[in-house]
Amino acid sequence: MVVKYRFRLHVFTLAMLCGFGVLVYRLWWLQIEHHKDFVNKVPEAKRERARIPGVRGEIKDRNGMVLATNKATFEVRVNLKEVLDEHVRQCRVKKVDVPMIKVEFRDRGIIRQKEEPDIVTMFKELIESRLADLGLAAAFNAEQDLRVHFRSFGGVIPWVYRDNLSFSEFSRFAEHNLSLPGVTVAERGSRVYPLGALACHILGYVRLPDDQRVSAEERKGWDYYVPDDYGGAGVEKSFDHYLRGRPGVRVMQKNERGRIVGEVTSAYEPPRKGNDVFLTLDARIQYIAEMALRDGNIGRGSVVVVKPDSGEVLAMASVPNFDPNRFIPSIKQEDWDALTTKDKTWPLLNRATRGFTPGSTYKVPIALAGCLAHIQKQSFNCSGSVTYGTKAMQCWIQRQSGGSHGSLGLSDALMRSCNCFFYQYGNSAGIDQITRVGKMLGLGEKTGIELDEEDAGILPNPQWLRLRSPQERWSAGYTANTSIGQGMVLASPLQMASVAGTVASGKSFKPHLLYQVMDGGEVVEGHKPVLRADLGQHFPASDLELVRRGMWKVVNDAGGTAKAARIPGVEVAGKTGTAQNWRRDDRNVRVEDNHTLFISFAPYVNAKYAVCVIVQGGKSGGGCAAPVARRVLERSLALEQGYNPGVVRLAEVAGNFNKIEAVTYPDEGTPVLAVADEDGDTGGDAPERESTDSAAQPRNAPNIRREADRAGSSSASSGRSSSRGAAARPSRSGREDTAAPAGQTESAPKAGGFFRRLFRSPN
């Protein structure tokens, strides 16, 4: 009996061993022998590299006051390739067709059709419907933004669905985004201009890259490519290579289903801030210049202030103007249309670098040309008119009262702005010497200022005329008109401010805006003054003093045309100008639109500032432009005595076409005005010039904010309209309406510790 039970036990044991043997063999066969076969069939976790955009450096004035900085914002990014893959997977599970749409495209001039995944339907079903349930959905432009972005970038560059989120919205997104395929919430640096419209034409604006700027080579190696902002206009564009930061790297961990489950912290590389660019601008003088235009109720005009001994631009103000914060991250289509087409005062136009008829301010370069020709001590008689050919060219005094100036020397001719003197003086000097001195002063060519939008002006001469009108021949009449700054002559306020600075110092420097580039506390690059010409090498200082003395008399002599520029205790020298111009009104009727100018420097000995002021629609240079220059010079000189202009954020200035009889300031009492036409520049013998002010379309247009279309707004429940940029990548929405006080940098929200440290100003 015992043997019987033992036999059964052995059989059972043998069966168990065989069973375990088979199981072990099967496990070995599956896990070892055919391991690779099964691994290839199972989705695996993987890592993906995300590019973190570098943070732009700050733009500051020469004293370290911040003009452009950054703030941290939160945005929702969507990898559309992941949305496509997830929707395709679900369609396969459900055994339904993937939604497709037919699109037209042009192939060698023939319109053809092709099918592409309906990314809008996929996004709305997978993402937007769930966000709508959470109250986080937003309207967007489905056709021009979402579809175009998907065709252009696929999953390489994320599409920005929402931006400028509040902290509560950020928290809600962060709580739920892991369950949404392709959706991530991230911090990003956004440009902000804390002083509003101050120096807007110099600063410009930034925008986001388009398809052409982000090359395939740049995207190579990145699973997520978040591009950098780049300069679109102004010094943001000119110094973009300094300002743009170095990108960082974030490595994301994905699970077997392709969902992001975390970050590989050991592989993280933080982005690096770009270099800080210090401009030659003095924000205090810039503020003084802008307020002088505003307080004088000037609708169209400009002020330029330069250092005579270096060419450094201390201020460059232009009205009307704009707030560059409106361009960040995008500007509404209606606002862009208003700035570029509807507002005929052209707020985007930088009048400081625009070519204008300079009028009698141009008599200063003509006076210097006479010094080159050694005729500066000759006298010429003004009988009321001078005849060239069959044309009698009048002096302003004959037109005004029928009188004449009689015999004049150079200094008195500048003081009285005698046209007849300069008709004869310019012809005696000769057009070749006028051209020569013009080249020394930088007239008729771009100054090289670090801005794209600059006119070269026109320095007319026989060679120029042959290219312009081969059938015409240069004559003494052309030289006479050139000698009073009329006819075909064009010069910008920046060029004429440089002329004033040259007379003040005896040296002609190229104007510039770059002061230095800093990387932390280290100077990366500085700018040395570039000398264009030293007048002392061409004629003695005594000859230059004749020109300087004439400009002194313009302001300080009883017969001068710029009495309104006098400053008690300070010797100011200058030259007025009133150039005859016309413009077309809304009915296309020509109306008078004279340009009044004043160039000056102060103090007379060891000048600190050279200034050019232009007021469009004014009556005379002495009554309209000279008071503005006085305001700027007086307050700028007072800075050394402790005057504080109190630089604050400035709003935009709207332009107008109002005629200005005289510029007055409420706190200065009754101004001393010039007699009508005392500038002597109406030049009726010169061809009438019609104003052609217009703002050229920037080479890099800003991100235009498109309105949500029907397909992109049907299920949005948040009531927000989307903010999308143009073609390449939809831009972020919202506009910063508040800013930190001058010289301070805004900090990031509490959740953005890294950005809070990164954006903190070193000063």
pLDDT at 547 over 90: yes
The two three-digit tokens of residue 481, written as one number:
């008109």
Structurally, the chain folds into a number of domains equal to: 2
Tell me what the mean pLDDT of segment 383-400 comes to: 88
d(CA 172, CA 673): 66
Q: Decide if 273 is inside a domain.
A: yes
State whether 566 and 675 are in the same domain.
Answer: yes
Kindly give the residue spans of alpha helices, DSSP state H, lying in 489-625. Answer: 493-505, 541-556
State whether 669 and 713 are in the same domain.
Answer: no
Question: Among the three residues 650, 685, 720, which one is the final residue of a domain in this structure?
Answer: 685
User: Is residue 365 a contact partner of residue 425, using CB atoms and an 8 Å limit?
Assistant: no
In 264-290, which positions are buried (b, 16+ CB within 10 angstroms) versus exposed (e)?
A: eeeeeebbebbbbbbbbbbbbbbbbbb
Going by C-alpha positions, the residue among 457, 550, 461, 535 that lies closest to residue 495 is 457
Enter the pTM of the model. 0.82
State whether 304 and 266 are in the same domain.
Answer: no
Q: Decide if 92 is inside a domain.
A: yes
Q: Decide if 287 is inside a domain.
A: no
pLDDT for 708? 60
In this structure, the number of other CB atoms found within 10 A of the CB of residue 300 comes to 27
In this structure, the number of other CB atoms found within 10 A of the CB of residue 205 comes to 27
State whether 483 and 521 are in the same domain.
Answer: yes
User: Is residue 444 a contact partner of residue 431, using CB atoms and an 8 Å limit?
Assistant: no
Sorting pLDDT into bands at 50, 70 and 90, what band is 139?
confident
Burial (CB count within 10 angstroms: exposed 0-12, middle 13-18, buried 19+), residue 62 = middle
State whether 324 and 230 are in the same domain.
Answer: no
Q: CA neighbours within 13 Å on the CB side: how many for 568?
A: 1
Question: Among the three residues 685, 718, 733, which one is the final residue of a domain in this structure?
Answer: 685
* pLDDT tens sequence across 412-441: 999 999 999 999 999 999 999 999 999 999
CATH code for the domain of 603: 3.40.710.10
pLDDT at 750 over 60: no
Of 55-64, 244-253, 405-414, 487-496, least confident by mean pLDDT is 244-253
Q: Decide if 18 is inside a domain.
A: no
CATH code for the domain of 748: 3.90.1310.10
State whether 274 and 401 are in the same domain.
Answer: no
Of 39-48, 146-155, 357-366, 479-488, least confident by mean pLDDT is 39-48
Tell me what the mean pLDDT of segment 285-305 comes to: 96
Q: Decide if 751 is inside a domain.
A: yes
State whether 123 and 241 are in the same domain.
Answer: yes
State whether 356 and 494 are in the same domain.
Answer: yes
Q: Decide if 357 is inside a domain.
A: yes
User: Is residue 742 a contact partner of residue 283, using CB atoms and an 8 Å limit?
Assistant: yes
Tell me what the mean pLDDT of segment 167-173 comes to: 78
State whether 231 and 156 are in the same domain.
Answer: yes
Of 156-160, 445-449, 471-475, 516-520, least confident by mean pLDDT is 156-160
> 226: domain range?
47-105+114-279+708-758
* pLDDT tens sequence across 83-137: 888 888 888 888 888 888 888 777 777 888 888 888 888 888 888 888 888 778 8
Of 226-230, 521-525, 566-570, 706-710, least confident by mean pLDDT is 706-710
CA-derived radius of gyration, the chain: 35
The two three-digit tokens of residue 754, written as one number:
């890294």
Q: Return the beta strands (E) in 557-709 as ranges.
A: 573-579, 581-584, 590-592, 595-602, 609-616, 689-690, 704-705
The two three-digit tokens of residue 611, written as one number:
């200034």
Tell me what the mean pLDDT of segment 10-29 comes to: 83
State whether 176 and 234 are in the same domain.
Answer: yes
* pLDDT tens sequence across 606-616: 999 999 999 99
State whether 305 and 275 are in the same domain.
Answer: no
* Residue 679 or 518, more confident: 518
* pLDDT tens sequence across 42-53: 555 678 788 888
Average pLDDT over all residues of the chain: 83
State whether 142 and 183 are in the same domain.
Answer: yes
The two three-digit tokens of residue 300, written as one number:
């169209």
pLDDT at 82 over 60: yes
Of 118-122, 310-314, 441-445, least confident by mean pLDDT is 118-122
pLDDT for 406? 92
Q: Decide if 25 is inside a domain.
A: no
Q: Decide if 190 is inside a domain.
A: yes
